[in-house]
Amino acid sequence: MKKPIGIIDSGVGGLTVAKEVMRQLPNETIYYVGDTARCPYGPRSSEEVARFTWDMTEYLIQYDIKMLIIACNTATAVVLNEIKETLSIPVLGVILPGARAALKHSHSGKIGVLGTVGTIRSNAYSKALKSINQDVKVSALACPKFVPLVESGEYEGDFARRIVSKTLQQMKADRLDTLILGCTHYPLLEPIIQEVIGAEVKVISSGEETAREASTILDYNESLAVGDHTPHHRFFTTGSSKIFAQLASKWLQQDHLIVETIDL
Amino acid sequence: MKKPIGIIDSGVGGLTVAKEVMRQLPNETIYYVGDTARCPYGPRSSEEVARFTWDMTEYLIQYDIKMLIIACNTATAVVLNEIKETLSIPVLGVILPGARAALKHSHSGKIGVLGTVGTIRSNAYSKALKSINQDVKVSALACPKFVPLVESGEYEGDFARRIVSKTLQQMKADRLDTLILGCTHYPLLEPIIQEVIGAEVKVISSGEETAREASTILDYNESLAVGDHTPHHRFFTTGSSKIFAQLASKWLQQDHLIVETIDL
């Protein structure tokens, strides 16, 4: 089915999900909305996060999308269930795919979660993990300094390494075997996070896992785009289309992206 | 939802899938049918494989299962679509979960598949992989000596190592980065296969991947068993319940399994 997959995020972080969907499902067309002007969502109230997420959802619905991916952990924690119950198309968040992948990889049952203040405060990962296996031990850590590092493009180098190292210090005593990056911005910091936490810990990126589940659900609903299509992705931002295009081109390693500024 | 998940296989190989479902979804109850008396399915005609698979399916339907997993690649290749179209519950095979996991892991796009003569002849993996990404290169290899090694319990030691080494010889020149174990018996041989093919190749077990997708689909349908249930698994075999119980207890590391011999 040639209809687009809609992906929404508070900013550019959800591009890590978009990139994985493009890699794992190269026939699919993506329509992406990044609410860059109102990013970050992490410190906002639940009411605001819900309202902003609905704004993006309603914007994409007009394009007859066949699936909606809420590529923002904060928004998933707050409003996934409500949107899922309202729309007739499949709606995926990023929390359960990350949780399921962690349960698949973890043998010791000691699982760490990194996220924004909003995501960690919501306890969404712990609830998701324990709803499937009540015996796991979850260590959750809010990392409020990580999103600004990524949005500002400073996710490589010594400054980022110092911040990550200091933030994860207390987690190293927990002897985790699996660590979930519970924010779609964090995969940009993954090389540093892996280095700091140690090679023996399996680091799970919710982006990769959500792309995989999108494929499972589209296949289950018989609505995968099969055969040789050339997808025409579109990107919408509430902020500067120029800055968005620069970041997106670098991350997705694609030139000539179509980026449009919209009002929500 | 407390209804059981049905798992069917030509013999004991599907226990690798059952084991993963138990590990990743410890609240779920499993009803397993192994058609040991008519195993292996690999060399049989499509008509026979279809008929035998329907026999097992109809047997489990009487127990009001909420999902059916066809944990046999040969049966999946032949009859998954027909059963899926006929039943009202979700029906999963093991081929697409393995294919999707391979597409997620592979960066070079050079993917190998090991399977029975029937599975390889059906070209099912190649079709599944290319339906999602037409650019991948697939090397498929039939390994008719592997299932007898596993069913006879000789899957460890020098004899197994010699057979695996000789079988995979020709594949080593293909410079794969991902290898799919396209038969649910093969995970028992995984340590030897990994050793022979080399540590740089990611070996994908369809069992783990299918358990993960079962979790995704049950969650999507809101029929996961949540909370603290003690599952009561049941195992049915068309062969000797004693031999089945011995093998199953060893693989699943569980004592006191309930194994019943049935006629199909």
pLDDT grade, residue A153 (50/70/90)?
confident
User: Does A101 sit within 8 Å of B212, measured CB to CB?
Assistant: yes
- B97 at interface of A, judged by CB pairs closer than 8 A: yes
Element (H, E) at A58: helix A46-61
- B133 at interface of A, judged by CB pairs closer than 8 A: yes
User: Does B215 sit within 8 Å of A100, measured CB to CB?
Assistant: yes
* Contact list, B215 vs chain A (CB under 8 Å): 100, 103, 132
- How many angstroms separate the CA of residue B203 from the nearest CA in chain A? 14
Complete edge-to-edge strand list for the sheet that includes strand A178-181: A137-142, A110-115, A178-181, A202-205
Annotated binding site of B for substrate: 9-10, 41-42, 73-74, 184-185
User: Does B219 sit within 8 Å of A217, measured CB to CB?
Assistant: no
Average pLDDT over residues B191-206: 95
Radius of gyration in angstroms for the set of CA atoms belonging to chain B, rounded to a whole number: 17
User: Does A219 sit within 8 Å of B220, measured CB to CB?
Assistant: no
Among chain B residues, the shortest Cα distance to A211 is held by B104
DSSP string, B154-173: --SSHHHHHHHHHHHGGGGG
The predicted pLDDT at position A228 comes to 64
Mutate to test the interface with A, among B111, B215, B217, B228 (most CBs of A within 10 A): B215
User: Does B135 sit within 8 Å of A100, measured CB to CB?
Assistant: no
ipTM > 0.90? no
Question: B226 is written with which tokens?
Answer: 């949540």
The predicted pLDDT at position B228 comes to 64
| C-alpha dist (Å) from residue B181 to A94, B178, B220 | 28, 10, 27
Out of A132, A135, A211, the one facing B215 most closely (by C-beta) is A132
- A162 at interface of B, judged by CB pairs closer than 8 A: no
* Contact list, B219 vs chain A (CB under 8 Å): 96, 100
Residue A248 confidence (pLDDT) above 80: yes
Nearest-angstrom CA–CA distance, B104 and A25: 9
* pLDDT cut 70: percent of chain B above it: 99
Which domains can be identified in chain A, with CATH numbers?
5-93+208-261 (3.40.50.1860), 95-206 (3.40.50.1860)
User: Which backbone phi and psi does B73 adopt, to 5 degrees?
Assistant: -65, -40
Q: Model confidence over B50-62: pLDDT tens digits?
A: 999 999 999 999 9
Q: Model confidence over B132-146: pLDDT tens digits?
A: 999 999 999 999 999
Nearest-angstrom CA–CA distance, B93 and B69: 6
Nearest-angstrom CA–CA distance, B99 and B178: 10
Tokens 């929404």 -> residue: A8
Mean pLDDT in chain A? 93
- A224 at interface of B, judged by CB pairs closer than 8 A: yes
Q: Model confidence over B209-235: pLDDT tens digits?
A: 999 999 999 999 989 887 667 899 999
pLDDT grade, residue B206 (50/70/90)?
confident
Nearest-angstrom CA–CA distance, B111 and B176: 6
- A216 at interface of B, judged by CB pairs closer than 8 A: yes
Nearest-angstrom CA–CA distance, A45 and A42: 9
Phi-psi region of B241 (alpha: psi -120 to 50; beta: other; left: phi over 0): alpha
- A24 at interface of B, judged by CB pairs closer than 8 A: yes
- CA A181 to chain centroid, in Å, comes to 9
- B96 at interface of A, judged by CB pairs closer than 8 A: yes
User: Does B133 sit within 8 Å of A215, measured CB to CB?
Assistant: no
User: Does A25 sit within 8 Å of B132, measured CB to CB?
Assistant: yes
Closest CA to A116 of A83, A152, A84, A76: A76
Closest CA to B41 of B22, B58, B60, B54: B54
**What are the residue ranges of helices labelled H in chain B?**
15-24, 46-61, 73-86, 95-105, 117-122, 124-132, 146-151, 158-168, 190-197, 206-220, 241-252
Q: Are strands B178-181 and B202-205 parallel, antiparallel or unpaired?
A: parallel
The predicted pLDDT at position B107 comes to 93
Largest Cα separation within chain A, whole Å, is 49
In sequence order, the 6+-apart residues with CB closer than 8 A to the CB of B78 are: B46, B49, B50, B53, B118, B122
CB of A184 closer than 8 Å to CB of A13: yes
Among chain B residues, the shortest Cα distance to A228 is held by B134
User: Which backbone phi and psi does A71 adopt, to 5 degrees?
Assistant: -90, 35
The predicted pLDDT at position B255 comes to 84
Look up residue A66 and give its amino acid.
K
Annotated binding site of A: 9-10, 41-42, 73-74, 184-185
Q: Model confidence over B82-101: pLDDT tens digits?
A: 999 999 999 999 999 999 99
